Structure 1
């Protein structure tokens, strides 16, 4: 379904002659094709699932945020503005992000569901969160919340 939304956004950007959106959606689709090819096996030629696409989009946003910081530090505001514009376009395809209270509740639920008792069990809790909330939460913040809950 997300793949269809991306293709439709590409067509809309072409019709509207929105070059900024068009370029960003093309970048997303190129990265998606790369991920699809990497995930191929001898028996399966299917594309990756939506949760993997959401993860890819979050990675793209993280990369752009890092670039913005570097560009601003290097005195290149025009390049930072371009990266920020790409972030806005990419975020259109992500579901609504969870607030801190919702992340805390999800962490507590995942800790209870996995039976985690110490920081050693953190990997299982994070795996459960990623499976259930892909694209909906910042897993760096969730990781800190899990660590706090388990210590």
Structure 2
């Protein structure tokens, strides 16, 4: 089932259950997908990769907002943002654990021949493509820095 159809099914379930957090989150996803489709022309269907990027962007926005609200002492505003991020994350593939990411990046470093922090840019490009949807860019960056230092 395509992501758009899956979102619509979940929206109907959220409406029936009167789950306002889920409904608001799903409406945001639907809106972002419709915006992306109209940007590329109404005739084109979005690729799965593009849909993943949209979902990752929405989750990242919610988490960043929650961090800002928490820093400002506004837990009442941070909680809904985190709840929405959780709902949107359901549509993303399972995220890699830190150990899995370290193992995969160690293998990638040996394959590419990266040896110093100077190779980080090249390695980030390869890793970002390979682990798209499975790991956050910030997490990849942190692990690469640890392994190359």
Following superposition, the deviation at residue 27 of structure 1 comes to 0.4
- What's the RMSD between the two structures over aligned residues? 2.4
1:116 paired residue among 105, 114, 117: 114
2:81 paired residue among 83, 90, 105: 83
| In structure 1, C-alpha distance between the alignment counterparts of 2:140 and 2:103, rounded to whole Å | 11
1:21 aligned residue: 22
TM-score by length of 1: 0.80
1:148 aligned residue: 146
| In structure 1, C-alpha distance between the alignment counterparts of 2:28 and 2:70, rounded to whole Å | 22
- Give yes or no for contact 1:106–1:129 (8 Å, CA) kept in 2: no
* Inter-CA distance 9–113: structure 2 relative to 1 (3 Å threshold): farther
Deviations 1:128-151 (A, max 9, x none): 222222111122121122233334
Following superposition, the deviation at residue 26 of structure 1 comes to 0.5
| In structure 1, C-alpha distance between the alignment counterparts of 2:18 and 2:146, rounded to whole Å | 48
| In structure 2, C-alpha distance between the alignment counterparts of 1:45 and 1:115, rounded to whole Å | 43
1:1-151 equivalent positions in 2, closer than 5 A: 1-38=2-39, 40=40, 45-151=43-149
Matched residue count: 148
Gap regions ≥5 residues in structure 2: none
* Inter-CA distance 119–46: structure 2 relative to 1 (3 Å threshold): farther
- Give yes or no for contact 1:13–1:21 (8 Å, CA) kept in 2: yes
- Give yes or no for contact 1:64–1:87 (8 Å, CA) kept in 2: yes
* Inter-CA distance 127–48: structure 2 relative to 1 (3 Å threshold): farther
